[in-house]
Structure 1
Amino acid sequence: MNKIFVFLIILLLPVAAFAQPVYLLSDSSSATIKRYAVLPDRDYTFEKIVSDTTLAFVEGDSLGKGHATHYWLKIRIKNPFHYAGEFYISLNLNLDNILYYFNENTQKWVAYQNGMASPYIGKRNVNEMACILQGQAENVLYIRVDASMLRGHNYSVKPIIKIKKAAYVDSKEQMMWLSWIASFSVLILFFINNLYIYFGLRDKTVLFYLIAQLGGMLYITAYKRFYSIFFSSPIFTSTVSTEGQLHSFDMTSVLMHGSILLIMYGLVQLTRSFLSTKKILPVMDSALRIGLLVYVLVTVILVAINIFITYLEDYTLLYHNILALLLITIIMCTCVVGYLRKLPASTPFLVANILPLIFMFATALYHVFISFNFTDGSLMPDFSIISQALAFSVALVARTKSIHKDLKAKEIEARQLEFDLKEINLRQRLIELENQKINADIRHEKTRNELLEQRLEVNQRELASTTLYMVQKNELLASLKTQIQELDKLYPDSKHQGLKSIESILQSNLYLDGDWRKFKLHFEQVHPHFFENLLAKYPSLTKNEIRLYAYFHINLSTKEIAALLNIDPASVRRAKTRLYKKMALVEESDLQDDNN
């Protein structure tokens, strides 16, 4: 009897050693399964896993310990409820997993494959795998886990298995859809409205607002991974943490960074354009431009490294978000400075910036210190983007009013300019008429001057002719007088009374005033008021001195003047010297009187 008992104990020892505890479901919506068994995969088929009782699943073993690329997980779950329920199973290592469960209705094993590297199945969430657990029964689940990424690491990880009620997951999924539809609808409506405004005004400020809105629509779509419903995303680089969490840089990450770049670019350029910082706030404008340039360069470099070289998102996320926070801070400071400077529409712009920038600030802090999980159901990005669209639309309305006000002012200014132009045209026409009159006067005066010049030329010719005649006549008379005197000398005894009479006549003709008056008449026609001005300046001049000065004025030679005056040339020179000395004394006397 004792031998039989010992034999039974020996037979039951392996069963006790390899018996797997059963996980009991509870009423909670989500729970973590800590009871499972692990088997390294040796290219086993699922039929072999189910039918071969010799395969040893080790309770609570780690993945990566045996350096295998795939592992099988066996989970026993007791559903204490009366009815079968639908649940979702998820693993932290979600590269490419296949869940197998037994369907009582079809009496067949059902496979459900999901994961980052799994074939595209048109689902937003690539981690959760659906299964049906029978009520009042123990359900056995098998999961084939792709652990190929662990081969490049020197550590093993324990899988974290979570089970969630389908109703709970579906409600969260529905909430995600509703929030996305609501946010996207609001954004698209504002986008269309502001697009219409842009084509009407062609205002760059509205264009930058549209760019920020486009970035917001892409951001909430990428944040909730809705793009994965339409196409699968390649994994560019990835890594596995020591806790077994898979971190990857895929198309979602690229879209996230790209959408944030659009938002930041739109906000910075919107601020610069709205407040005219380039002209009014050059220091803040430089800070905005440099901050945006640094953020763009850092983002592009980090995205390129994560795509083509290695995964760095976990190490750079904190600093990248800090850089975004600094840029948001610069935008806020610019708004405050613009408000303090009382710039046009700066008050509504500051108010419009406060709420969305606070939400953006909170979103960045949330991702840095709490979670960067795209499927955590946070509505912070939705609030941030929607508040941005609403607030900046209000600011754009204020700007539009300001633009209309400026347009009215410019319209009034344009009308004033039009009136001024008309007045200027009238003045110009008046000036043209005056110029025409002046030109006519000039032509008349020119004609008159030409006539005067012709008359002056005639008078000058007559003066020259008269002067020449007088010189020749006096020379002839002087010659006749000389001849008569010589005859008197040759025949002193035979003087004829007629010759003396002729000599007397010749002497009197040499000093006839008629010739002088004729000369003076022609001289004054050429030189008006000459004698009046000369006597006014030199009242002490004698008649002969005036006559002599007139001859000097027309540049007659000493010989010609001597012939006119019937004196010797030496006498002319002496008379000239006396005349100029007399005139010099008068001028010197006038200077002394002026000084006194």
Structure 2
Amino acid sequence: MLEYRAADFPSYRLFINQCQLPKIILLLVLLFIPVMVHAQTVNTLMDRSTAQIKSYALLVDQGYTLDRVRTDTTLRFVPNDSLRPVKATYYWLKVVVINPAHYDEPYNVSVQPSLKNTLYSFDRNSLRWVSQQGGIYAPNMGRRNRNLMTFVAQGHTETTLFIQVDVRYPFDKAIKPVITIEKQAITNRDDQFRLIAWIASLSVLFLFFLNNLIIYFNFKHKIILYYLIVQIGGMIYVTDYKQFFQVLFPCPVFTIGLLPNGQLTHYDLGNLLQHFSIFLILFGLVQLTRAYLNTSTTLPRLDFILRYGLYTYGLLSFILLVINTCLVYLESYTIWYHNVLALFLIGVIIWTCIIGYVRRLPAASPFLLATILPLSFILAISLFHVFVSFNKNEGTLLPDLAIITQALMFSVALVARTKLIQQELMVRNAEALQHLFDMREMELSHQLTELENQKINADIRHEKTKNELLQQRLEINQRELASTTLYMVQKNELLANLKARLVKLTNRHPTVSQQELKGIESILQSDQYLDADWGKFKVHFEQVHPDFFDNLLAKYPSLTKHEIRLYAYFHINLSTKEIAALLNIDPASVRRAKTRLYKKMAVSEPDTPA
């Protein structure tokens, strides 16, 4: 802090004694000095919280020190002049104020433009000139408002203030400095009120946040997650709105802008956090509404508007954030559009809640009651900034009311939602039990089916074994049938040969002895066993072809025994020659008998092997 000791001024008497001018000139000089001293209008600090100084004097700074500015009478201060950055980068402001009170009182003074201003005031306690800096680039002293600089105004005494104004920002026009003085007691009272409101709001939000955080870890429900996001955004927004980020830590300045009224403004980390918090709040509210009312299914059109409205706001905020932090200051020109778009989203959320209530969606009634009050306060904040002022120092309780009511009312909605979820869980538990019983029944049915399949497989294996045995038996019977048939054929051939020999013998020896004829007769006597051979053949045939003769007689009852025997031979595909040998007839007779048989049976005659 810069300090200067007060210089002792020479008395008027010493000044007169040293002058050699005529008395008349001395008299004029003595009369002119008070006029020069009091040429600048004195600003009386009335009993008001804030006063704007209308009278000041301006001096172009050409590297002057405070001592020279204060004591050099040749330096010309121009009353109520404008700052011209194209002419100089630093100016000296001289302000004379008088405190009408009987006691000393501290005041805060701010000067616009406020890049980096330095206030010099006289301290009666230390009898020194002390300095204090304020402005955008002033060192962070843990103050909520960087522009404020403090001085003490003596009671019933004029107080002269010298302020060095930095105008190095490339302004292209003359600017009237704006000097505002406020009682420090008023500032401290306002800061204390803001601090109490901020602590109360954060305490409520933090308690609700912890409670719902525990609930979220237990249920993992996305509705509670969106509610937590809204609370995080609310805590950040309240902290920035009350300008406590500048108290907690330095907020770097990204870009600077000059408003049409000559006020210098800037975009710093606090502005960035403010827009981020607003996006978190809108994101949480939109997603909470969509999830709570299931708008993607119940209200698809409003869900589309909410979703893409949020995307639009997020994209616009990101683009403007990049421009304001990296390129050029646009905050004062785009904040109106930000608030209008936020108004639109809040309005759509309220309308969605009303439509959900009208359509009697599940838990829509408590959600509407929980939404209408905090969203009304949020609407009031946006309307205030759109139509009244963007100044954070005004309307300070609206964010607190919005955030606290949001935390309280949405907790009620979450309780209603929790009850609905519990009912749904009970229904789902009942359905789960029913599904469990059904699955158990299906499992038992599956086991029964497996047992039946095992039984079927066992039966199949048994039948397979049985069929294999039957197949083996069939093959044996077929071999026996073939053997019997072959035997009968050979026997009949033998009989045919014997008959032929008998005929030849009779023809050759008509007078054969009686003994020889008896031998031949004995051989021919064996022909009577032909019927027994047929019976044996029939037994083997029926073993291979069960119920063949019964079915044949049932279908063709007019068939004779000889025709049945002939058809059996045809069925096993014996040749005409073999059948002729078995029946002791010639093959031509077999063919004729076959034709007559199939004609009698009224069936087509198949080919028979020769």
TM-score of the alignment, normalized to the shorter chain, above 0.5 = yes
Q: Structure 1 residue aligned with 2:292, among 260, 271, 274?
A: 274
Per the alignment, residue 486 of structure 2 pairs with 468
Q: Structure 2 residue aligned with 1:407, among 407, 413, 425?
A: 425
Instruction: Tell me by how many angstroms 1:533 deviates.
Output: 1.2
C-alpha contact (below 8 Å) 2:86/2:172 kept by paired residues:
no
Per the alignment, residue 528 of structure 1 pairs with 546
CA–CA separation in structure 1 for the residues paired with 2:364 and 2:577: 98
Instruction: Tell me by how many angstroms 1:189 deviates.
Output: 0.4
Instruction: Tell me by how many angstroms 1:97 deviates.
Output: 1.5
Alignment of 1:91-490 (within 5 A): 91-149=111-169, 152-278=170-296, 280-376=298-394, 378-490=396-508
CA–CA separation in structure 1 for the residues paired with 2:56 and 2:281: 46
Count residues with an aligned counterpart. 583
CA–CA separation in structure 2 for the residues paired with 1:235 and 1:500: 151
Moved more, 319-328 or 34-43: 319-328
C-alpha contact (below 8 Å) 2:85/2:168 kept by paired residues:
no
Instruction: Tell me by how many angstroms 1:505 deviates.
Output: 6.5
C-alpha contact (below 8 Å) 2:272/2:321 kept by paired residues:
yes
Summarize the Cα distance change of 1:17–1:89 in structure 2 as closer, same or farther, 3 Å threshold.
closer
Instruction: Tell me by how many angstroms 1:495 deviates.
Output: 8.6
Q: Alpha-carbon deviations, 1:180-209, whole Å to 9, x = none? A: 111101110011101111111122221222
Instruction: Tell me by how many angstroms 1:311 deviates.
Output: 0.8
Structure 2 letter corresponding to 1:544: H
Is the counterpart of residue 46 in structure 1 residue 63 in structure 2?
A: no
CA–CA separation in structure 2 for the residues paired with 1:580 and 1:328: 101
Give 5+ residue unaligned stretches, structure 2. Answer: 1-22, 606-610
Q: Alpha-carbon deviations, 1:148-196, whole Å to 9, x = none? A: 22xx232111112222222222221111111111110111001110111
Structure 2 letter corresponding to 1:189: L
CA–CA separation in structure 2 for the residues paired with 1:495 and 1:67: 178
Q: Secondary structure at the match of 1:126?
A: coil
Instruction: Tell me by how many angstroms 1:490 deviates.
Output: 3.5
Summarize the Cα distance change of 1:70–1:450 in structure 2 as closer, same or farther, 3 Å threshold.
same
Summarize the Cα distance change of 1:350–1:450 in structure 2 as closer, same or farther, 3 Å threshold.
same
Q: Secondary structure at the match of 2:129?
A: strand
C-alpha contact (below 8 Å) 1:477/1:510 kept by paired residues:
no
Instruction: Tell me by how many angstroms 1:416 deviates.
Output: 2.7
C-alpha contact (below 8 Å) 2:254/2:268 kept by paired residues:
yes
Summarize the Cα distance change of 1:342–1:47 in structure 2 as closer, same or farther, 3 Å threshold.
same
Alignment of 1:559-574 (within 5 A): 559-574=577-592
Q: Secondary structure at the match of 1:416?
A: helix
Aligned-residue identity in percent: 57
CA–CA separation in structure 1 for the residues paired with 2:120 and 2:288: 54
C-alpha contact (below 8 Å) 1:172/1:377 kept by paired residues:
no
Structure 1 letter corresponding to 2:101: F
CA–CA separation in structure 1 for the residues paired with 2:339 and 2:513: 145
C-alpha contact (below 8 Å) 1:474/1:510 kept by paired residues:
no
Per the alignment, residue 34 of structure 1 pairs with 54
Structure 2 letter corresponding to 1:144: Q
Q: Structure 1 residue aligned with 2:102, among 54, 57, 82?
A: 82
CA–CA separation in structure 2 for the residues paired with 1:432 and 1:80: 107
Instruction: Tell me by how many angstroms 1:405 deviates.
Output: 2.0
Instruction: Tell me by how many angstroms 1:61 deviates.
Output: 0.6
Q: Secondary structure at the match of 2:390?
A: coil
Moved more, 345-354 or 164-173: 345-354
C-alpha contact (below 8 Å) 2:85/2:172 kept by paired residues:
no
Is the counterpart of residue 555 in structure 1 residue 570 in structure 2?
A: no
Summarize the Cα distance change of 1:78–1:481 in structure 2 as closer, same or farther, 3 Å threshold.
same
Q: Structure 1 residue aligned with 2:76, among 56, 61, 66?
A: 56
Summarize the Cα distance change of 1:333–1:477 in structure 2 as closer, same or farther, 3 Å threshold.
farther
Q: Secondary structure at the match of 1:271?
A: helix
Q: Secondary structure at the match of 2:602?
A: helix
CA–CA separation in structure 1 for the residues paired with 2:465 and 2:377: 89
Structure 2 letter corresponding to 1:358: S
Summarize the Cα distance change of 1:535–1:164 in structure 2 as closer, same or farther, 3 Å threshold.
same
Summarize the Cα distance change of 1:449–1:23 in structure 2 as closer, same or farther, 3 Å threshold.
same
Instruction: Tell me by how many angstroms 1:334 deviates.
Output: 3.8
Q: Alpha-carbon deviations, 1:265-296, whole Å to 9, x = none? A: 22233233333344555544443332222222
Per the alignment, residue 590 of structure 1 pairs with none
CA–CA separation in structure 2 for the residues paired with 1:15 and 1:252: 49
Structure 1 letter corresponding to 2:104: A
CA–CA separation in structure 2 for the residues paired with 1:442 and 1:390: 74
Q: Alpha-carbon deviations, 1:347-392, whole Å to 9, x = none? A: 3223222222222222222222222222335211112222222222
C-alpha contact (below 8 Å) 1:471/1:563 kept by paired residues:
yes
Instruction: Tell me by how many angstroms 1:237 deviates.
Output: 0.8
CA–CA separation in structure 2 for the residues paired with 1:66 and 1:480: 157
TM-score (norm 1): 0.90
CA–CA separation in structure 2 for the residues paired with 1:505 and 1:52: 179
TM-score (norm 2): 0.88
Q: Secondary structure at the match of 1:408?
A: helix
Structure 2 letter corresponding to 1:528: P
Structure 2 letter corresponding to 1:292: L
Per the alignment, residue 544 of structure 1 pairs with 562
